[in-house]
Amino acid sequence: MEKEILISKAAIKERVSELAAQISLDYAGKEPILIGILKGAIFFFADLMREISIPTKMDFMRASSYGSNTHSSGSVHLTKDVELPIQGRPVIIVEDIVDSGLTLAYIKENLEGRGVESLRICALIDKHERREREVPVDYCGFKIEEGFLVGYGLDCNEEYRYLPAIYVLKENS
Ligand code: IMP
Ligand code: MG
């Protein structure tokens, strides 16, 4: 499939540093647990965590939603859960992209039900076009209106994750 560059490697790096600086300020004196949502958030998570200047801990969750390659269906379930104790801890969810919001809404409610001290969401990309559930994105890398994005961890049917920049897939190609 043809693709066109949307966000360069340098632009990602710069924005990740800005997000990390903001999180470091907001959580000064705390040790938040960063929960990465596998697999798409993997590079964003790794780059962000290294740029945050305060101590943090890492954990991961994986959610699956049945649906086609480019639309989530809304029925979300967890296929991997966190392993660290999170009760009473400040938690930041690190996600690649918010589209309908169904995945994050599910994960957010699930984690809130476990008595975390606080919960914020950090997403590299906020794609507003198809939002069905309002989820607050406290730390947002880039806002885009539409398009299906790949690269920097984002996939289309498990392809393109390895690309170091973010591309938009061209339809009908
Ligand atoms: P949501 O539940 O519709 O918000 O979808 C969230 C998940 O769908 C993300 O975690 C991604 O894995 C995937 N997704 C949504 N939009 C895109 C995209 O443009 N490119 C790649 N994956 C996407
Ligand atoms: Mg994902």
With a 6 Å cutoff on the Cβ, whether 102 touches ligand 1 is yes
How far does residue 99's CA lie from ligand 1's centre (Å)? 5
DSSP string computed for 89-113? SEEEEEEEEESSSHHHHHHHHHHHT
Cα pseudo-dihedral 79, 98, 122, 140, rounded to 10: 170
Q: Given ligand 1 and candidates 99, 127, 134, which is best to mutate, with the most ligand atoms within 8 Å of its CB?
A: 99
Residue 66 is predicted with a pLDDT of 62
Residue 18 is predicted with a pLDDT of 98
Strands 118-127 and 149-150, how do they pair? unpaired
How far does residue 79's CA lie from ligand 1's centre (Å)? 16
Q: Which of 99, 126, 138, 155 is catalytic?
A: 99
How far does residue 95's CA lie from ligand 1's centre (Å)? 9
Residue closest by Cα to atom 11 of ligand 1: 97
With a 6 Å cutoff on the Cβ, whether 137 touches ligand 1 is no
48 and 72 in contact (C-beta within 8 Å)? no
How far is Cα 132 from Cα 98, in angstroms, rounded to an integer? 11
109 and 81 in contact (C-beta within 8 Å)? no
Which pTM value belongs to this model? Answer: 0.94
Residue closest by Cα to atom 3 of ligand 1: 100
Residue 68 is predicted with a pLDDT of 56
Residue 99 is predicted with a pLDDT of 93
Residue 37 is predicted with a pLDDT of 98
Q: Is 99 an active-site residue?
A: yes
Residue 41 is predicted with a pLDDT of 98
Per-residue pLDDT of the chain (173 residues), as tens digits, is 899 999 999 999 999 999 999 999 999 999 999 999 999 999 999 999 999 999 999 999 999 876 655 566 667 889 999 999 999 999 999 999 999 999 999 999 999 999 999 999 999 999 988 889 999 999 999 999 889 999 999 999 999 999 999 999 997 65
